[in-house]
Chain A
Amino acid sequence: MNTPKMPKEMRILAPHSFRERLSRRAVLKAGTAAAGLAVVVAACGGDDDGGSSGGDSGGDALGAQASGDWSRVINKASGTLAMYTWGDYNDPDIVGALAEAELGATMKVDYYGSNEDLITKLASSNGNSGFDIVVPTGPYVPQMIEKGLIQKFDKSLLPNISNVDPSYLAQAWDPGNDYSVCKNWGTTGFFYDTSVITRELKNWQDFLDACMNEASGNCSMLDTGPNMCGVWFWSNGHDWNTTDPALLDECEAFLVDEFAQHVKAFDSYPSTAIAEGAYSISMAWNGDARQAYYRIQDAGGDPTAWKWVLGAPETELWMDTYCVAAGAPNPEAAHAWINWELIPEISIKDLQYHGYNTGLKSMSQLISELAPDLEYGDMIFFTDNQVSTFRTQEITPAIDRHVDILNKMKAKAGG
């Protein structure tokens, strides 16, 4: 670290109390402590430092600091910070010891399984749920604003929002980013065992076909109605947000009467079951499919036999967002944490954990500088051509129909 300004800011950002905390808890876990310190050092670097890339500042990728113009403001917080999010969705350090060390807030994380569960929980507690940060998927944001379940950001506390790629800001559900900011986004494709399905599969049509032939009785689908129906719409060149009853009927006729009997499971996180050997083809979100490679390796299988294919000709783009819950007991800490998470080094550390694109600008440069060893990058980052085929979901009355179709499929598959 050859930043001239560093010592002065070090004093500000790593005060006495912080060092104490380090000695108390983190020294027992030397690895974490070192990483934590390194990030603070990195985060303090001056904006105008064009300096060297990660390689020569020590082996740990986190020790490196991204070059270029980044905002790295860290606001201190205190007390407890409660987060309500999807399972295993952040690096445990970032929602644990590291956050406590750098921000001063103790984190407490709970998990939900669907956006609707989140909404029910918040709506039924009159702003008394005790959660500070919640992580709804983009299209659910308007509903949550309308119901008063999330509160407006204090943007002055979120200066690091300038680190986010503008193409992932100002989404249709919250054009001003007044309530939400991108946590990460992902897409949908499929993952298959080339030793079982020997032909090359290229698109959703091939996927459906393989499920009904070679992989019949051995395939898994995402356990959400819209995604399940989406496959049929995408493969047939329709808009997956359509509310046209005729198209929905056609979709139902195929999925329920012809397709369902071949499905082994409706599983939204198939990576573990894939490694256990339960499926030979799975519809999956990109991050989970990427995890599957590691799980297969853990289980002593052969990861090279498995292939990831992005859904085509069209597929989904979903984005999960950070919001501050209405009635949050500790909104300052919530803002401080979200802002901290938008610092490139933290964001990339998180990205390496969950395998989804966190949507910062100059992403490819960030990765080459901060995480040069990142594997399976093509499952996290997509070309502009690919991104142009991504479609976001809209909340329409058709969702009921989607769930109904999924239920009928389940009944049929179980029969």
Chain B
Amino acid sequence: MTAAVSAPDRRRWRGPKFLLAIPSIIWYLLFFAIPIAFVVIYSFGTKDVSRLLPVDLSNLTTKNYADVFDDTFFKVFRATLRIAILATALCVLIGLPVAYFVAFKVSERWRAIILAAIIVPSFTSFLIRTVAWRIPLAPNGTFSKWLTDIGVVGEQGIQLLQTQTAVQIAIVYNYLGFMILPLFVALDRIDVRMREASKDLGAGRVATFFGVTLPLAGPGIIAGVLLTFIPMCGDYVTATVLGGAKGNMIGSMVASQFSQAQNWPLGSAMAVLMIGAVLAVLIAASVIYVVIPRAIRLLDPVAQRLRAARHERSAAAVAKLGSEPARVSRVEPMRMAMSIWTVLVLVFMFIPIGLVVLHSFNGGVSFTIWTGNPSNKWWGELFDGGSTFALALRFLVIVGVFAVAKRLIAARGALPNRRLNWLGPIGFAVALVVNGLITDWFRDVFDFVSIGDAIRNSFLAAFGATVIAVILGGLSGVALARRPGTWSKIFMGTVFLILVTPEVMDAIALVTWFQRVSDVPVLGYVFREGIGPFSGGIAKLWVGQSLYASAVVTLIVRARLSGLDESLEEAAADLGATPARAFRQITLPLISSALVAGGLLSFTLCLDNAVISTLVSEAGSTTFPVALLGATKSTIKPFWGVGAVVLFIVTMAALVFVARVLRRSGESSSQIAATLAGS
């Protein structure tokens, strides 16, 4: 701050403080604030199905709110809260030891591997993983029969399907990764010296954890809680697939008003109240968060005395034994327990994925019901054998040629290593392009064209939305961290609203908004005719999926930058760099890891987006989750498992490609591991 005053000749930031956030502000105004405002207005209207959009706004009334304010709403909301709070707590309890173990107890190499193993499951379709939980939970399933045989459960088998417990398990499963990553990042940031100092000062293991580690990890816990609790409150897909009547959640109640009753006014009123209720819970939680440490501080004198006593005791022990060996012997069982726990958690995370792969070879008609005779018929059903083979062959040949070329060039030493390393990714890209040029491969490879199209559309949509989210979120994150002001409070409020708004409300808002702007020049044209090779439906998906994703990127970038002081940028400015140059050469590298992490997170979220995409997509822009969500309304065939596996493989290939390119461009593997985790 003082530096700013003392450097009059420095090229100061000109223009408003929120300059960098302007793209986001326009985006959110256009595609969130105004559309949502219309839905809020709907909540004062009356239902009229004779209109194109079933809302009559001629006489506004608050009757809908009065209707919502009955027992039913609050009862379901309470049940939802119970599920979400318990699941969040379980995620913290299960995730914290894993994050702690990964952050402090393993080598760099293992850290990367474990983190990757935690992230990888989230690149399998969220929906198919949820559906896959039906397999071990089914009372007539193999697992249940086995449990009956060994006498763990009674004749009836496990009675979990269609219960709240099933929802609880699946929700913890679905969101655990989103909890572990921020926890890890927060723990990883803690300066090891702080913990060492604590120990040197005589604090025991437990005291160090609760006195130093946990408070420093606080921001990570908050981030994790927000990233899991908020989407849980709006989630209803998990409850729909597994929950039955006992697992009913508020999100499905809101959705049923829109999709079953066509009662948009009541649905809107419910959504508005739901947002209010979730915000109220968050505010209450933050009050508790502030009050409890103060309360604990009141107990400080007591704690001091305890600590002093323990110090004396441990000092005595040290004197008796000679300090270090005693500590090590106590560490090992702890470390052992944590590593076992981590392995168990990883197994838990991979169970549904293993089941998806297994059941894609199911000989029966239903994905979840294993008939006992494996068969590859659904793989055959999905793929046009000849074309698939030709495609794979072409791909291998091209990549092989590049690999051989690389060997030859390397042997001659004709190119520096740095250039040489680019050959792999280039070969991969050429293989992609060549295959794409020769055939419309998504169409030719897949015999069941719809799934091929769905996989392609998923990629186009998620990729575009991620690019938008990274650009918008990156810029506004920088602006928030570096140029805070009154505007930033309003902006952060909007970001929070985006996170809290139930998806179905966003979906209705956007879908009606697209209709309204269809005659507006440019905007309407883009959504009607598309941009270049991309159809209007894909453009709509970009908008729909980018909202939540960009909010997440914004938070990550802001968190990253606010942890770093501004001295580097100031120094650059002092040395005469223009703001643009300082941004490019200083700020961008600083936030690059946050951008990559945010981008990956966005990509996962977009790839899995089902609710908004279902309403927003058109014929020809159906994505995989949209198609699968439609299929969950009746029998889910095993080829959906095949499709999910293919989608997963393609996603992983794309990510490995990105990771390699990043590494080529100079980031170390440990950096990539860290960025994957969002630090």
Partner of A411, one of B75, B243, B258, B368: B75
Q: Known: A108-B619, A124-B512. Contact between A275 and B369, CB under 8 A?
A: yes
Smallest distance from the beta carbon of B156 to chain A beta carbons, Å? Answer: 8
- Are B618 and A28 in touch, CB under 8 angstroms? no
Q: Given the known inter-chain contacts A88-B637, A128-B528, A278-B162, please indicate yes or no for A111 contacting B627, CB distance below 8 A.
A: yes
Question: Most chain-A CB neighbours within 10 Å: which of B79, B615, B620?
Answer: B620
A272 within 8 A of B: yes
- A108–B451 Cα gap in the complex (Å)? 10
Binds B, one of A34-42, A291-299, A338-346: A291-299
| Assembled-state Cα–Cα distance A130/B257 (Å) | 26
| Mask of B598-626 contacts with A, CB within 8 angstroms, 1/0 | 00000000000000001101111010001
Residue A271 lies at the interface, judged by CB distance under 8 Å to chain B: yes
Contact B450 A276 (CB under 8 A): no
Docked complex Cα distance between A106 and B453 (Å): 12
Most chain-A CB neighbours within 10 Å: which of B448, B518, B619? B619
**Interface residue? A125 (CB, 8 A):** yes
Alpha-carbon gap, A25 to B444, bound state (A): 9
Known contacts A128-B618, A131-B619, A295-B365: does B384 contact A271 (CB below 8 Å)?
no
B6 within 8 A of A: no
CB interface residues, B 261-311, toward A, < 8 Å: 261-263
Measured CB to CB, the nearest residue on chain A to B628 is A111
Taking a contact as CB atoms under 8 Å apart, the answer to whether B619 and A413 are in contact is: no
- How long is the Cα–Cα vector from A68 to B628 in the complex, in angstroms? 41
Judged by a CB distance under 8 angstroms, whether B400 is at the interface is: no
Q: Given contacts A275-B369, A278-B138, is CB(A410)–CB(B76) below 8 Å?
A: yes
When the two chains form the complex, which single residue of A92, A147, A288 contacts B52, counting CB atoms closer than 8 Å? Answer: A147
> Which of A29, A126, A147, A403 is in CB contact (< 8 Å) with B518?
A126
Tell whether A125 pairs with B449 under 8 Å between CB atoms, given A87-B633, A264-B244, A269-B635. no
Q: A294-B365, A403-B256, A403-B260 are in contact. Are A128 and B633 (CB under 8 A)?
A: no
CB pair B256 A411 closer than 8 Å? no
Chain A nearest CB from B368 CB (Å) reads 6
> Is B260's CB under 8 angstroms from A114's CB?
yes
What's the minimum C-beta distance from A4 to chain B, rounded to whole angstroms? 37
A225 and B261 contact, CB distance less than 8 A? yes
Smallest CB-CB separation from B511: which chain A residue?
Answer: A124
Residue of A nearest to B518 (CB): A126
Contact of B369 among A106, A108, A265, A295 (CB under 8 A): A295
Residues of chain B at interface, number, CB under 8 A: 81
Cβ 8 A contact of B631, one of A88, A225, A414: A88
Selecting from B245-253, B313-321, B542-550, B569-577, the interface stretch reads B245-253
Interface hits, B416-455 → A, CB 8 Å: 447-450, 453
- Does A109 count as interface, using CB distance less than 8 angstroms? yes
Pick from B514, B515, B633: contact of A268, CB under 8 Å: B633
- Bound CA span A146–B632, Å: 31
> How many residues of chain A have a CB within 8 Å of chain B?
81
Contact (Cβ within 8 A) B619 A110 = yes
Q: Is the CB of A143 within 8 A of B49?
A: yes
Q: Of residues 254 to 278 in A, which have CB atoms within 8 Å of B's CB atoms?
A: 260, 263-269, 271-273, 275-278
Contact A113 B259 (CB under 8 A): yes
Query: Cβ of B246: which chain A residues have Cβ within 8 Å of it?
Result: 264, 413-414
Say yes or no: is A43 at the interface (Cβ < 8 Å to chain B). Answer: no
In the assembled complex, B211 has its CB within 8 A of some CB on chain A: no
- Which residues on the A side are within 8 Å of B643 (C-beta)? none
Contact A108 B141 (CB under 8 A): no
Other-chain contact of A120, B244, B615, B637 (Cβ < 8 Å): B615
Q: How far is the CA of A413 from the CA of B72 in the complex (A)?
A: 11
Residues of A within 8 A of B456 (CB): none
The yes or no answer to B537 lying at the interface (CB within 8 A) is yes
* Closest-CB distance, B637 to chain A (whole angstroms): 7
Q: Interface on B for A, CB 8 Å cutoff?
A: 47, 49-53, 71-73, 75-76, 79, 134, 138-141, 144, 157, 161-162, 164, 243-248, 253, 256-263, 364-366, 368-372, 380, 384-386, 447-450, 453, 508, 511-512, 514-515, 518, 528, 536-537, 614-615, 617-620, 622, 626-627, 629-637
| 17 pairs from A and B in contact (CB 8 Å cutoff) | A25-B447, A97-B447, A113-B633, A123-B52, A123-B53, A123-B515, A128-B618, A146-B50, A220-B244, A224-B260, A264-B245, A272-B636, A273-B162, A278-B139, A300-B140, A411-B248, A414-B164
20 A-B pairs besides A147-B51, A403-B260 with CB distance below 8 A are: A108-B453, A113-B629, A117-B614, A120-B258, A124-B53, A124-B511, A128-B528, A128-B536, A130-B620, A276-B368, A277-B139, A294-B365, A295-B635, A403-B256, A403-B263, A410-B253, A411-B75, A414-B75, A414-B164, A414-B247
